[in-house]
Amino acid sequence: MKHAAKIQPARLVYQISGEEDIVSCFSTAGCELLSDAFLSFIDLMRPCIPERAPIVLEITGKKPDEAGRKSIDNAIWLHYLLQMTRIDRSLKACRIKIAWFFLCTVLSSVFLYMATKNTAEVAIQFLYLPIWFFGYRLLIFPLQEYLPLCREMKWYRRLAAMKLVFTQTPGGTQPSADAVMEETEAYSREAMEGIRGGMPARRLMKEDGTVLFRCRAASSGELLNPCSAPGHGLISGELASFLEQLEPFAMPERAAELLISGPDFSEEEQSSILSALRNYLRLRCRKAEDELRESRRRIIHYSLGLAASSVVLYFCGSGAGLALHEFMLITLWFFGDFLVDYILLGHSEARYRLRLCRRLSEMSVRFEPAQPRENP
The reported pLDDT for the residue numbered 312 is 73
Regarding whether 144 and 62 lie in a shared domain, the answer is: yes
Nearest-10 Cα torsion for 167, 170, 171, 173: 0
User: Edge-to-edge, what's the strand order for the sheet holding 55-61?
Assistant: 10-16, 55-61, 163-167
Conformational region of residue 61, where left means phi above 0, alpha means psi within -120 to 50, and beta covers everything else = left
Q: What is the pTM of this model?
A: 0.74
Find the mean pLDDT for residues 143-156: 89
* SS3 at position 371: coil
Strands 55-61 and 10-16: parallel
Whether 334 shows a pLDDT value over 80: the answer reads: no
Domain span at 98: 10-202
Domain stops at, among 202, 218, 244: 202
Q: Which pLDDT tens digit goes with each residue over 51-96?
A: 888 888 888 888 788 888 888 888 888 888 888 888 888 888 888 8
Number of domains forming the structure of the chain: 2
Partner residues linked to 215 by β-bridges: 260
Domain stops at, among 202, 219, 248: 202
Give, rounded to a whole angstrom, the gap between the first and last alpha carbons of the chain: 53
Q: Which pLDDT tens digit goes with each residue over 87-132?
A: 888 888 888 888 888 888 888 788 777 766 665 555 566 667 777 7
Regarding whether 222 and 194 lie in a shared domain, the answer is: no
Q: Which pLDDT tens digit goes with each residue over 248-286?
A: 777 777 788 888 888 888 888 888 888 888 888 888 899
Regarding whether 211 and 189 lie in a shared domain, the answer is: no
Contact 258, 213 (CB under 8 A): yes
Regarding whether 24 and 45 lie in a shared domain, the answer is: yes
Average pLDDT along the chain = 78
On the CB side of 300, CA atoms within 13 Å amount to 6
Regarding whether 349 and 209 lie in a shared domain, the answer is: yes
